[in-house]
Amino acid sequence: MVNLPQRRRRLVLIVDDDATSIDLARLLLEREGYRVLSAQDADGAVAIIDAEGPDAILINALMRHGTGLPLIGTLLLAQEPIPIIAAAGGSLRTQREVLGVARTLGAAAIVAMPFERKSLIAALNQALPETRQVRTPSYLGAA
């Protein structure tokens, strides 16, 4: 685990309706020294954003009831938007389509699910460029 000084530990909000995905992302991010909060729906996410002001938000763009992409769009309309990392699972075609829409909406980074440590941290580094850099894997669009 990377031990960042307490004043520099970044707060990441995970928004996903799947508890297993939240647990995996939390484990990976906490091992890298991030503080993590989670919400399982848009209302919970907005409450945490208002109360805690996270540094970045990791959102499953394919949450049930179609709430992931609209939440991304709504959050990016804020006066001071928080960097968003859009995530999606499913087939490669579904991932490309959904994550393409998320990019068009203004997501700072995208990542495929299920999460792998390197790709998740690379996406977070892309969204928060002042964090330590990890090379972005080529399948995420890096050269």
Q: What CA–CA distance (Å, rounded) separates 75 from 50? A: 11
6-125: CATH topology: Rossmann fold (3.40.50)
**DSSP conformation class of 64:** G
Asked if residue 38 lies in contact with residue 26, where contact means CB atoms within 8 angstroms, the answer is yes
pLDDT (0 to 100) of residue 131:
53
Domain boundaries, the chain: 6-125
Q: Tell me the pLDDT tens digit for each residue of 52-104.
A: 999 999 999 999 877 899 999 999 888 788 999 999 998 999 999 999 999 99
Asked if residue 93 lies in contact with residue 105, where contact means CB atoms within 8 angstroms, the answer is no
Owner of token pair 């995996």? 24
116: tokens are 């792998």
Q: What CA–CA distance (Å, rounded) separates 131 from 76? A: 21
